[in-house]
Structure 1
Amino acid sequence: MVANNNGPKIQQEKVTVSAMIYLYCRKQHHSQHHQLCEECNDLLQYAMQRLTMCRFGEEKTTCERCPKHCYRKDYKHKIKQVMRYAGPRMLIYHPTMALRHLYKNLVSR
């Protein structure tokens, strides 16, 4: 694994995942703006750690296209829930981020 992977692509991925988790938590768990419930905060911390330790580093595709899924089964289920809910709504709340992510998903096929 790559230790302390903090390149610009990984940082952008972290921003996108964070926005999705915050959106999900605010709408599904009725958390306050810029605050997460304990469950979502745990998921966010786990996702940040996985991105920092990503073996592909700056060559990373989107998680959906990744050949090696690194999430534990329970976290994988949680992040899928978040992405299913927040993904389509990102076009409304964070359109630039959403389009960048969609483009990255298309070119990494």
Structure 2
Amino acid sequence: MTEEKFKSEVETLKKFFPIYCNDKHTGQFIKKYNVNYKNLELNFEINLCEECHNLFSYAIERLTECPNNPKPRCRKCPNPCYEKEKYKQMAKMMRYAGMKLGLTKAAKKFKNLFKKSGNS
């Protein structure tokens, strides 16, 4: 996978995990991550609970070691690398956060539509 694709995948995880964790868990704390992939070095902090930090670390590890090029969606991968239970946890988190992001975007568009029509 290209460095750009890797960075994009990490950015998606960084966006989805806090949405899920903040809504479902308590006891969040900030943890620093230093992720190296090929010639790319990513340094960032993320605020999650212990359980989500563990799953996030696991997801980054799996992503770093993904042998596929191009990388398929994990659910369509011919050789899945996630342990079954971790895969179920990730799917649950991604589904929840994805829906919430989608609904948030739709709500913003809806509000903007009324702001524009109210100004006419």
What is the deviation of 1:82?
Answer: 0.3
Q: Would you tell me which structure has more strand in proportion to its own residues?
A: 2
Identity of aligned residues (%): 34
- Where in structure 1 do 4 or more consecutive aligned residues deviate above 6 Å? none
Partner of 2:79: 68
Q: Is the CA contact (8 Å cut-off) linking 1:25 and 1:37 kept in structure 2?
A: yes
Rg bigger for which structure?
Answer: 2
TM-score (norm 1): 0.69
Alignment of 1:80-99 (within 5 A): 80-92=91-103
The number of aligned residues is: 90
What do you get for the CA RMSD once the two structures are aligned?
Answer: 2.4
Structure 1 stretches lacking a partner, 5+ long = 96-109
Stretch deviating more after TM superposition (38-47 or 78-87): 78-87
More helix by share: 1
Secondary structure of the 2:47 match is coil
Q: CA deviation at 1:67?
A: 2.1
- Give the partner amino acid of 2:101: M
Mapping 1:23-42, distance limit 5 Å: 23-30=19-26, 34-42=46-54
CA distance in 1, matches of 2:105, 2:4: 19
Instruction: For CA contacts below 8 A with separation 6 or more, give which structure has more relative contact order.
Output: 1
Alignment match, 1:48: 60
Check conservation: 1:6, 1:52, Cα contact below 8 A: no
